[in-house]
Structure 1
Amino acid sequence: MLNHPTLDQIHQLGLAGMARAFTELHANPETPSLSHAEWLGLLLDREITVRRDKRLSTRLRHAKLRHDAAIEDVDYRSARGLDRALFQKLIQGEWIDAHDNLVLSGPTGVGKSWLACALGHKACRDDRSVLYQRAPKLFTELALARAEGRHGRMIRTLGTVNLLILDDFGLAPLDASARHDLLEIVEDRYGRRATIITSQIPPAHWHELIGDPTYADAILDRLLHNAHRIELTGESLRKTRKQTPKTA
């Protein structure tokens, strides 16, 4: 192991990437041909890369995305009504900074959740905070948290991430507790943060799913007023993509 006072100082400063680069450069016979500026540049590049990778790893761990999806693997050839121009624009992420929402609707198996996770992964790569939640499970956990005194903390967490993904919304009508929680979530996020909602049910039928007309009006006004919409169609991709399950 290389024993060098400069390396010891780099370690003391917590510059792990720079330390590894220093060791590699010290062992490279071509290093003496580098100028001081080039040497320093290589050290800094490695440190920046290591920190960026570590930050991304932390973002992804906290995001808890359901699918290991990436925008580079999106299949635009499938006959499911995915507007390539619109999706490419969404990939840029300006809608997240503008605190807009996105609704991905369509029948089961057409890739709604996968596409949402791909956008979530890209947001993590762009150093934005992301959180994935399946709506039915979330409402159950919020009801339990209310009984245990953790409800307020959970609501605050849902309100602070840059991008919240609510997957599988509308699988069952909302009860009074879920309606109240959903209103709190969308109220906290409206105009402040971006939200993706995926659903097998078209937004035109969400009013009856929410149930109470007053709650429904308030929730849908906040969710759909500034929402981009992608309505997918066609048969389940699971029937035709058994050979490539990580592509959607």
Structure 2
Amino acid sequence: MSARNQAKTPVLADPISTDLKTLMRSLKLGKLLDTLPERLAIARQQQLPYAEFLELIFGDEVTRRDTNSAALRARAAGLDPALRLERWDTTAAVRFDQQLWAELTTLRFLDGPYGALILGPVGVGKTHLATALGHIAVRRRIPVQMTRADKLFKRLKAARLDNSVETEMRRLAHTPLLIIDDFCLHSLDATETADFYEIVVERHQKTATVVTSNREPNEWLAMMADPLLAQSAVDRLVSTCHELVIEGDSYRRRQRPTR
């Protein structure tokens, strides 16, 4: 039989004994049973040494556990599972600095630590790109917290009612990567402005912050109740952030139903 015909020969799955299944489940390796029959058949077909076969199946388990662990950490961080880098629509009619974006995806800016401002009109994918950075960080086991700006300030106001605001502020201050989405979509009152100032000051040159906004930073000042606190916070944030500006039409318009 030719090598070509051998390649087309179907790989038959080996039966797994009940005793082996019991042992694997006792060792918490039960999920390997989903792929073990196929792996056994491939090992026999390719005449893999025992050590290489063990490396193969244990590699499957490590990959599965890493994937599940990353998914749990992403959920705890508030990251939308659908907004990963591999799901970015490369055909979208938007324009931005691809070189800067490639640099941001390396997460080297966390070493500064620096941050990033992702700016642009509605619907160009700011949230998607910011979330994608969060997913990259989570896969590298870097603690992340992502929140929409209005929900962040509401949470802090609620924390004042049960005297947990200091705990909440410490958590926000020390998270290695904080992503604030849709900043200054609404005006900030005096309490929200003061909270934003505290967050920025505590994180300045210590941890990395990513902010998405429909407005330019110089427009933020007019949206905040206290001009002095606003200017101090914005100056600190802008001075340590890369600025990625996205231009183009809203992708949501392409999602409208057609006849």
Report the TM-score when normalising by structure 2: 0.80
Counterpart contact for 2:96–2:244, Cα < 8 Å: yes
Counterpart contact for 1:164–1:195, Cα < 8 Å: yes
Structure 1 pair 77/157, CA: closer, same or farther in 2 (3 Å)? same
Deviations 1:225-246 (A, max 9, x none): 1100012233322113548xxx
Alignment of 1:120-199 (within 5 A): 120-199=134-213
Q: Give the greater-gyration-radius structure (CA).
A: 2
Counterpart contact for 1:22–1:43, Cα < 8 Å: yes
Alignment of 1:22-61 (within 5 A): 25=39, 30=44, 33-61=47-75
Letter in 1 for 2:161: A
1:32 deviates by 9.5
Alignment of 1:49-88 (within 5 A): 49-66=63-80, 68-75=82-89, 78-88=92-102
Number of residue pairs the alignment of both structures matches: 242
Letter in 2 for 1:172: H
Aligned to 1:228: 242
Secondary structure of 2:234's match?
A: helix
Consecutive unaligned residues in structure 2, runs of 5 or more:
1-15
CA RMSD of aligned residues (A): 2.8
1:165 deviates by 1.3
Q: Tell me if 1:213 matches 2:227.
A: yes
Counterpart contact for 2:75–2:81, Cα < 8 Å: no
Structure 1 pair 6/65, CA: closer, same or farther in 2 (3 Å)? closer
Structure 1 pair 6/214, CA: closer, same or farther in 2 (3 Å)? same
Within 2, Cα distance between the matches of 1:76 and 1:38? 38
1:143 deviates by 0.4
1:26 deviates by 5.5
Counterpart contact for 2:43–2:53, Cα < 8 Å: no
